[in-house]
Amino acid sequence: MTLEDDKKKDIHSFFAADPEKADKEFFGRVANADRRGFLKKTGLATMAAMVGASIPFHRNMPVGFVPAALAQESVLIGKDGLTLLNDRPINAETPPELLDDAITPTSRHFVRNNGIPPEDMNPDTWTLTIDGFVDNPMVLTIADLKEQFEVVTMALTLECGGNGRGFFNPPASGNQWTYGAVACAEWTGVRLRDVLEKAGVQPNVVYTAHYGTDTHLSGDPNKVPISRGIPIEKAMTDNVLIAFEQNGAAMNPLNGAPLRLVVPGWPASTAQKWLNRIQLRDQVHDGAKMTGKSYRVPAYPVAAGEDVPEEDFVIIERMPVKSLITFPANGADIGAATQVRGHAWSGDRTIEKVQISIDFGATWQMAELDDPVNSGAWQNWRADITFPKAGYYEVWARATDDAGIMQPFAIDWNPKGYLNNTMHRVGLRVS
């Protein structure tokens, strides 16, 4: 059995069955005469990203060896309590109760990778190319970005387009995200708009194309793991950043260090990590994960399990209205009175209200809702709840945005399992 046969297996069970076979499949390493193995660049980059640092003596590691650091409670160094969904590529989500902070700590920011992270993440030598249909093509260092453009810090919400995929029936293929492929960190960088204006956007531009330095899982240098883009109108808004810091420090390597895009309110797949090129195009970008059914949904409602022609899919743009309960945790034992709290967000819009129910939706009470700290940030909410007597309860939350769109109890099925914004529910036992 390979890792692809069962993506829910963690790295330890994968290696336990047949360490040498697993080593070859996962890291591309084969034993030599003295049972040592040579790590290919992609395999070494994967292992280094997982332990959070380069591995100077990697040539001495025995074949079938899993670094001791990965035996810790969190398999990803620099990440706290995340649930690992896939080892290759690395994908991990955050349990809702660990997202209780108004600003998501770097250690609890979800990880969504499509390829193998680069080996070289040196910010001092990193460059970003701006080309395509521009008047002044540019190659910029991170120092150039800091010197030539206004540096801003913004709280911005990123959410994977497949967040909630694990709840579709029939199941949709892909990482089985539940609730935790979302975060709102503080990102420091420069506005993409400012950089594009200096490059000179030509009148025929309709779309951006984003490229990173991660490599394809196959190891084929001619294949790109992901290259998405956004309409030029979205690129020219105030809160799309080229970021070089996360929460006031260098960003975690698995979150795109040393340079990435942050595109709030749209699928996080558009927010290219390990960013090294932005091309302006006179057509909708057709890079990897931009065509076919990737990050697309049917243009009309479909029945569960229905086969939909590829030409009937449309590109996902803004993410839907959604809320998340971060306290209490699902399954908690509590007293008769408690505070319920969480976050709410809705693509490029703001949230007008959040409502809470403890009687399976028969009645609803209004939660206290904060304004966003800036455009693109989620909104924090809270409500004081008193339960009438002991027993089992469910707390339901629903948000309504400034266009009057309310979060639904359930959504229509779609083949790729995208955009699941059904109400979040937590079960509680009241003593």
How is the chain split into domains, by residue range?
A: 1-72, 127-315, 322-430
- The domain made up of 322-430 has a fold known as Immunoglobulin-like (2.60.40)
Instruction: Give the pLDDT confidence score for residue 39 in this predicted structure.
Output: 57
- In this prediction the pTM is 0.85
Please give the average per-residue pLDDT across 330-340, as a whole number: 95
Residue 19 scores a pLDDT above 70: no
Percent of the chain beyond pLDDT 90? 79
80-123: per-residue pLDDT in tens? 899 999 888 999 999 999 999 999 999 999 999 999 999 899 99
pLDDT confidence bin for 427, thresholds 50/70/90: very high
Exposure string of 168-184, with b = 16+ CB inside 10 Å and e = fewer, is: beeebebbbbbbbbbbb
More confident residue, 426 or 72: 426
Q: Which residues contact 70 (CB under 8 A, 6 or more apart)?
A: 11, 12, 50, 51
Please, how many CA atoms are within 13 Å of residue 249, restricted to the half-sphere of its CB? Answer: 6
Q: Which residues contact 206 (CB under 8 A, 6 or more apart)?
A: 231, 232, 281, 282, 283, 284
Nearest to 424 by CA among 343, 342, 324: 324
- The domain made up of 127-315 has a fold known as Sulfite Oxidase; Chain A, domain 2 (3.90.420)
The two domains 127-315 and 322-430 share their CATH topology (first three levels equal):
no
288-301: per-residue pLDDT in tens? 999 999 999 999 99
Residue 280 near residue 202 (C-beta atoms within 8 A): yes
138-162: per-residue pLDDT in tens? 999 999 999 999 999 999 999 999 9
When the pLDDT of each residue in the chain is averaged and rounded to a whole number, the result is: 90
Handedness of CA 140, 146, 148, 149 (dihedral sign): positive
Residue 202 scores a pLDDT above 70: yes
The dihedral formed by the CA atoms of 67, 176, 80 and 385, expressed in degrees to the nearest 10: -160
Pairing of β 241-246 and β 424-430: unpaired
Residue 309 scores a pLDDT above 80: yes
Q: Which residues contact 314 (CB under 8 A, 6 or more apart)?
A: 296, 297, 298, 299
pLDDT confidence bin for 66, thresholds 50/70/90: low
Give the span between the Cα atoms of 112 and 98, in whole angstroms: 17
